[in-house]
Amino acid sequence: MEYEFEVYGNTAPTTLEPDNTDPLARIGNIARLADRHGFEGLLVYYQHETLDPWVTASAIMQQTARVTPLIALQPNSLPPFTAAKIVHSLVALYGRRVDLNLITGGNEGELRQVGDLVDHDGRFERALEYMSVLRALLTTNERLDHEGQHYAFRGLRTFTCLPPDHQPRIFVPGSSEAGRRVARAIGDVALTHPEPADRFAENFAKPRSGEIRLGVRFGIIARESDDEAWEAARARSTESRVGRLQVRLRKNSDSDHIRRMAHVAEEGELHDDVYWTGPYRNGRGYMPYLVGSYDRVAAYARRYLDCGARTILLGSMANEAEFEHVGIVLSRLRGADSANARATERLIS
């Protein structure tokens, strides 16, 4: 069976450190590669130490023809009417859609820094109210009256109405019941870092069957042979005491999917001979990686599509070669591998 699915990449966190030279060129390079390789969009991070996601999204749109920024939006970072103005401005300036990744705060340290003491489920409730206001501001220019638990507005009018084809799609990360409730209410894509395929089918996909579109987030390290892929993977990952400690701490996180991933990582570095937790175990990432030959990785990724996933959000890729290796896997996943993927293989071999 062939599946239609979409692929998003990510820009990788662009830090504010003084030695981070020419971030505009690096962001532009990744964005143009994503554009050239047919990606739907690019995730733009929100963290205290990274460049502002809205400004980064503007840089992506300025340097590409069709890539859609998937902008991390945390409700405690700016009021909904400000988000509406920025979304509207980006669409007006560049003539295409932006998408929103509605994050509620998985980094408890950052939340404490800004005095955000709302508990896990409360943050999702706030996000739901936030998005109801933002949706209203993006769908009408009429005055808005709103009285809620977290927001109150009287006759608010922002003139930010967008046509239907330019409305942002809302991604809701998380796997808890609170996240699931918000995803059903206002989301377009329910997104998670998946567990190994069989466990994902039982714990995440099956309970959500018939709900909204499912999205999975993982990295891919694939080469012509398993040995070549694992050589590339091991070059990126070194076990560390700090990483092991982080895994133990994440088992107590109030984020459901972070806890799930921590348990998977502590059980072992490798599952099903493909699903690899190396970067998670060494503190260099939150997502799993699929590692192996093109065919092996494509076959494993297809198991997530079999579970109903239709959006794939990939880990960071920094250069043309990495996009090409991933492109072969995606071609085989789409069933278009015979001519195009083989030609790409010859180019990079």
Instruction: Show the tokens assigned to 86.
Output: 């920025």
For residues 169-179, average pLDDT: 88
CA distance 169 to 149: 25
pLDDT at 239: 66
pLDDT at 86: 98
Mean pLDDT of the chain: 88
pLDDT at 242: 67
Mind listing the pLDDT tens digit for each residue in 2-28? 889 999 999 877 655 555 678 899 999
For residues 270-281, average pLDDT: 92
Q: In the predicted model, is pLDDT for residue 272 greater than 80?
A: yes
Confidence of residue 260 (pLDDT cuts 50, 70, 90): confident
Q: Kindly report the number of other CB atoms within 10 A of residue 190's CB atom.
A: 26
For residues 274-299, average pLDDT: 90
Please check whether residue 268 is in contact with residue 277, taking contact to mean a CB–CB distance below 8 angstroms: yes
Mind listing the pLDDT tens digit for each residue in 44-87? 998 888 899 999 999 999 999 999 999 999 998 899 999 999 99
CA distance 241 to 259: 19
For strands 275-276 and 270-271, give the pairing: antiparallel
For residues 198-218, average pLDDT: 87
Confidence of residue 337 (pLDDT cuts 50, 70, 90): very low
Q: What percentage of the chain exceeds 90 in pLDDT? A: 63
pLDDT at 339: 43
Mind listing the pLDDT tens digit for each residue in 129-164? 999 999 999 999 999 999 999 999 999 999 999 999
* H or E segment to which residue 86 belongs: helix 80-94
CA distance 306 to 9: 21
pLDDT at 263: 83
Least confident of 142-151, 165-174, 276-285, 314-323: 276-285
